[in-house]
Amino acid sequence: MMNLGEKIRMHRKELNMAKDELALKVRVGTGFLDKIESNKITPDLQTLLKISTALDVPASEFLENIECNQLVTNLENHLTNNK
């Protein structure tokens, strides 16, 4: 079973998209995207939605492998920071 970072990398490579191109579309740094693809960090929901849009992949494909606790934590952080 592929983890989130592996899925993102796979879809990016299927589109022959460079990491810096995806980072630009998502408006994150290349280093940040590298950490996502190597599963060092889990992106917040907003970033994940931007990635899914940039790769033309339904967000649900990425969400199915994120542990529920991590997703809830990221969502709570997003809501707290955007009051």
Which CATH number do you get for residue 63?
Answer: 1.10.260.40
User: Which residues in the chain show pLDDT less than 50?
Assistant: none
Helix, coil or strand: residue 43: coil
Which residues does 29 contact at the CB level (< 8 Å), separation at least 6?
Answer: 23
Indicate yes or no: pTM above 0.85: no
- Domain range holding 27? 4-81
- The region that residue 44 occupies, defined by phi over 0 for left and psi between -120 and 50 for alpha, beta otherwise, is beta
Give the pLDDT score at 78: 76
Counting the structural domains of the chain, the total is 1
